[in-house]
Amino acid sequence: MGKPKRERSLPDNEVRAKGRLIRTSPQKLNLVAQSIRGLSVERALNELEFSRKRIAVSVRKILQSAIANAENNHDLDVDQLIVSEAWVGKNLVMKRFRPRARGRVGKILKPFSEITIVVRETEES
């Protein structure tokens, strides 16, 4: 029995992959996401491979997951894929405290974020 299957929210030529609890601020993660938006997946993987940002390693894993989803689950051609969308959202924030002078406390916020990458198959040109 169970629930009926939910309708797919994306068109047939698009595939999504999502990374959650990524240990960086959304602002820093968005800088990496901006660098791959609109690129072909091969070029985006190269961009992330040689990026100097620490978080580019995690984004590269998520992009590879989206490519694998497209190839294995939806039978899309990997050579025709582009990164159509990449957006970033906030997630939880760990709160830590550091003792300061005269009995005060310094608040330390350790933010987490999430990223969603959508790849689309384009027609041959």
Can you give the CATH number for the domain in which 64 is found? 3.90.470.10
- For residue 23, being part of any structural domain is answered with yes
- For residue 31, being part of any structural domain is answered with yes
Structure confidence at residue 1 (pLDDT): 75
- For residue 9, being part of any structural domain is answered with no
Structure confidence at residue 115 (pLDDT): 97
**d(C-alpha 37, C-alpha 31), whole Å:** 11
What's this model's pTM, rounded to 2 decimal places? 0.91
- For residue 115, being part of any structural domain is answered with yes
- The CA angle 86-45-39, to the nearest 5 degrees, is 50
- For residue 57, being part of any structural domain is answered with yes
Total of domains in the chain: 1
Range of the domain at 113: 14-121
Residues of the chain with pLDDT under 70: 125
Structure confidence at residue 124 (pLDDT): 73
Structure confidence at residue 125 (pLDDT): 57
